Amino acid sequence: MNPLALELELPSIETAAPSAPPLGAESDPRLIELDLEADGLGLAPVEGPPLNPDGIASVMELAVHLQEEGHHREAEPIFRRIVHAQPDHVAALHHLGVLYLQTNDPVRAIHVLRRALEFAPSDADIHRNVGEAYRTVRRLDTAEAHILRSLELAPDDPDTLCNLGHLRVQQGRMAEAVDAYHRALTFQPDDSAMLTFLGAAYCHQRDVQSAAKCFHAAVTLHPDNVTARHLLAAMRDDDVSEVPREYIVDLFDTYADSFDEHLTEALRYDAPAALRAAVEQ
């Protein structure tokens, strides 16, 4: 299997950039109108009695713990209750927005995170996550503005540098993607996932040797990294006739957001458009 034949699309997580538009200045067709409640965030009504302001800190601690443990369904209404009781609670807004990102609801994440930015316009982490939400809905100019603003505020943050790398891949700016991943690795040199991202970016550049080194390092650090292990085996001409199920799942999750665009733009699949034209005639 020739790895150069692979069409790698990175997920997802810094060089001179073109001038960015004002943050949030443009209309995004993906940002559908939401049924806004009293809080203006499109959140469902809050159930239960209002929170006692003196108890918000302990409730917030519980919600964060649930989120960190992956119990998003249980954490989400608690964050909403906090926001309902204290609309300018930046940490609750931020965690709630990240939760929506974690549960594949980037549109709602954008609404909530932008509200958090109204109260904390110089928070690098919030800018990073707003940028990631916009990148997820492929609003790349706005994503870039927020990611670069985050890096202005926290230049050495590896998560933001990683997200910049992902953005540059989506923009087709592979040399800049490689640079962003390299910079992120200076702060997290043992990050197996980051090495995999860097290797994939090298594949885009047809730099097989550098890609193989990255995949080998990623597998050495994390033998269960199925993506790096599979791509490294392909480069070595090992038998990869049976693709690991985990690799297929990972590749599908990575590729799903850009499938329609790749199908219509990169592969020039125009059958639906041709059918519509025939019907209209």
- pLDDT of 219 over the 90 cut: yes
CB 170 within 8 A of CB 138: yes
Question: What pLDDT is attached to residue 223?
Answer: 93
- pLDDT of 246 over the 70 cut: no
The structure's pTM equals: 0.72
Question: What pLDDT is attached to residue 40?
Answer: 53
Q: What is the mean pLDDT of residues 214-241?
A: 83
Question: What pLDDT is attached to residue 237?
Answer: 67
Q: What is the mean pLDDT of residues 128-135?
A: 96
pLDDT tens digit sequence for 139-158: 999 999 999 999 999 999 99
Question: What pLDDT is attached to residue 193?
Answer: 92
Structure confidence at residue 36 as a pLDDT band (50, 70, 90): very low
| Higher pLDDT among residues 81 and 44, named by residue | 81
> Which of 127-136, 189-198, 223-232 is least confident?
223-232
Question: What pLDDT is attached to residue 13?
Answer: 27
Question: What pLDDT is attached to residue 43?
Answer: 64
Q: What is the mean pLDDT of residues 28-43?
A: 44
Q: What is the mean pLDDT of residues 23-37?
A: 38
Structure confidence at residue 45 as a pLDDT band (50, 70, 90): low
- pLDDT of 253 over the 90 cut: no
Structure confidence at residue 231 as a pLDDT band (50, 70, 90): confident
- pLDDT of 42 over the 70 cut: no
